[in-house]
Amino acid sequence: MQKPWLIFALALGSVFTTVHAALPANAAAAVQDPALVAAEVEDFLRSQASTYSGSAHVTVETPRIQNQPACDQLQAYLPSGQRLRSRMSVGVRCVAPEVWTSHVKTTLSIQGYYYVANRNIEVGEVVSLDDMAAREGDILRLANNIIFDPSQAVGYIASQRIRAGGPIKSSALRDPDSIQRGQMVRTEARGAGFVATGEGQALQNGAPGAQIQVRASSGQVISGVVVNAHTVRIVM
Q: Which domain holds residue 143?
A: 111-174
**β partners of residue 167:** 116
- In this prediction, residue 136 has a pLDDT band, given cuts at 50, 70 and 90, of very high
Residues 160 and 217 in one domain: no
| 165, part of any domain | yes
Q: Based on the fold, state whether residues 122 and 163 are members of the same structural domain.
A: yes
Contact 134, 118 (CB under 8 A): no
- Concatenating the DSSP letter of every residue in 99-135 gives -EEEEEEEEEEEEEEEEEESS-B-TTPBP-GGGEEEE
Quick check: is 72 in a domain? yes
* Residue where a domain terminates, one of 88, 110, 132: 110
Q: Model confidence over 11-70: pLDDT tens digits?
A: 545 544 444 444 444 445 699 999 999 999 999 999 999 988 899 999 999 998 888 999
Whether residue 179 lies inside any domain: the answer is no
Q: 133 CB contacts (<8 Å, ≥6 apart)?
A: 115, 116, 117, 118
- CATH number, domain of 163, equals 3.90.1210.10
User: How does pLDDT run across 60-111, given as a tens digit for each residue?
Assistant: 999 988 889 999 999 999 988 788 999 999 999 999 899 999 999 999 999 9
Q: What are phi and psi of 68, to 5 degrees?
A: -65, 145
The helix/strand/coil state of 41 is helix
Task: Tell me the average pLDDT across 187-209.
Answer: 90
Q: What is the DSSP letter of 209?
A: T
> Rounded to an integer, what distance in angstroms lies between the CA atom of residue 29 and that of residue 12?
27
